[in-house]
Amino acid sequence: MSESWIVGINPVQSVLKEGAERVRELLFEEGQRNPRVQGLRDLAKARGVTMRPATREQLEAVSAGARHQGVAARCEASVAATEADLPALLETAGAGALVLVLDGVTDPHNLGACLRSAAAAEVTAVIVPKDRAVGLTAVAHRASAGGADQVPLIAVTNLARTLRQLKEAGVWLTGLAGETEQSLYGLDLRGPVALVMGSEGEGLRRLTRETCDFVARIPMPGAMESLNVSVATGVALFEVLRQRGRLS
């Protein structure tokens, strides 16, 4: 089974609490006096996880640019959901299905932030294309603040085909784009829905946009023309929850 590094206090705490059996070892910076890191060491000891001290250089080498805060965990990669799992996930969610589709997000910080919002909104699944998109790197995992371990992430080979499968399962597809008159707040998002977000630079690809049932924008009275994809994702997800009466 493949392995990956999870770095940073919150992500490491999340994996120790929710999936300590996946953790092969915990590295902590020599001389680290942060009480939260000591708390992680105590938690790791209680879970029977192997620990060893490491230099700052060693931690930076495994963190791949992510802010490690003096701690890193080498883990078995979580069992990712696959395209074959999607029908069962949708059936379980029923009328409350809420799917997030990210059409070509390439910045790991954006992917992580989207996963964080998806976990907070109890999204049924997050769907990404295997090509021309960032994977779940250490940076993305850290940016998700544990969200990557809480929501199914499905990488698909043919996004347009998967979108058609969602429609066949009764899920309504709403793409987000700035160049349309339809307001997100004017749509009925109470049934099974998938929110489709485009890439940071080009937005929704043509075929993806044409497959959507609706294309809507987030109204912005200010001078800015668009929002960062992770910010737009959070706004859209919580508008769905607001319409469903989940925020009271």
The pLDDT profile of the chain, 248 residues, written as one tens digit per residue, is 467 788 889 888 988 987 888 899 999 998 888 999 999 999 999 999 999 999 999 999 988 778 899 999 998 866 568 899 999 999 999 999 999 999 999 999 999 999 999 999 999 999 999 988 988 887 888 888 778 878 899 999 999 999 999 999 999 999 999 889 999 999 999 999 999 999 988 889 999 999 999 999 999 887 677 789 999 999 999 999 999 998 87
- Whether residues 112 and 62 share a domain: the answer is no
Whether the pTM exceeds 0.85: the reply is: no
**Do 102 and 182 sit in the same domain of this protein?**
yes
C-alpha dist (Å) from residue 6 to 59, 170, 205? 11, 36, 32
Domain that holds residue 119: 83-243
89 within 8 A of 14, measured Cβ to Cβ: no
Verify that 145 and 166 share a domain, yes or no: yes
Residue that is last in its domain, among 76, 98, 123: 76
Asked which of 48, 76, 104 is the last residue of a domain, the reply is 76
Give domain status of residue 248, yes or no.
no
Torsion angle, CA of 138/143/145/151, rounded to 10 degrees?
-80
Answer yes or no: is 119 within a domain. yes
